[in-house]
């Protein structure tokens, strides 16, 4: 098992080169990702951004980096930082270090969540519906809290992940634009 980003709402990437940084977000679950800080004249290509919508939805790792490895050797002293936010109010901060000779990347993850503890009942909710909906809500809260606890356990390691695992967050800003036709 490894962490899993579900119901992605927004992704932002801060590169060591500021011109390569970007943020994509969507208004609804399953909605189209849009470039948040679009500059006039940029022609955003939603097809090129579609793979980002599934970023880290089922990541895997190949190995764990030795704990004594120095940050300047692994690239964790100047990582690419991606922040992934979900509709369940989970925030994943992923740091990507240097690539290895066999096309793996070093990766660290930190997970936070703002799990809503109280449900706001609907305006015309009947008492029997309220009881059922409250029970469903509490079950959902319990699942989210368990997910958070499990995923926070991954924070103490640096992992080696394959390029395809993190490919969507390795994109540069220019990779999201339509090809200019002559």
Model pLDDT for residues 39-96, shown as the tens digit of each residue? 888 889 989 999 999 999 999 999 999 999 999 999 999 999 999 999 999 999 999 9
Beta strands per DSSP E along the chain: 8-14, 22-25, 34-35, 63-64, 80-86, 90-99, 104-113, 159-162
Residue 181's pLDDT is what?
65
Average the pLDDT over 154-170 and give the result.
94
Model pLDDT for residues 106-148, shown as the tens digit of each residue? 999 999 999 888 887 777 878 788 888 888 989 999 999 999 9
């Amino acid at each position: 098992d490894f962490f899993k980003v579900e119901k992605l709402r927004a992704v932002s990437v801060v590169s060591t080169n500021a011109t390569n940084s970007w943020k994509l977000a969507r208004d609804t679950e399953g909605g189209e990702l849009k470039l948040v800080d679009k500059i006039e004249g940029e022609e955003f290509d939603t097809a090129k951004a579609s793979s980002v919508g599934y970023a880290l939805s089922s990541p895997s790792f190949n190995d764990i980096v030795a704990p004594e490895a120095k940050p300047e050797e692994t690239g964790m002293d100047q990582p690419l930082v991606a922040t992934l936010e979900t509709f369940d109010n989970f925030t994943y901060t992923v740091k990507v270090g240097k690539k290895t000779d066999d096309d793996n990347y070093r990766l660290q993850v930190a997970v936070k969540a703002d799990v809503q503890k109280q449900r706001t009942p609907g305006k015309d909710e009947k008492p029997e519906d309220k009881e059922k909906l409250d029970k469903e809500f509490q079950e959902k809260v319990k699942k989210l809290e368990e997910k958070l606890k499990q995923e926070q356990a991954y924070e103490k390691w640096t992992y080696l992940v394959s390029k395809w695992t993190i490919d969507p967050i390795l994109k540069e800003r220019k990779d999201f634009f339509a090809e200019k036709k002559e």
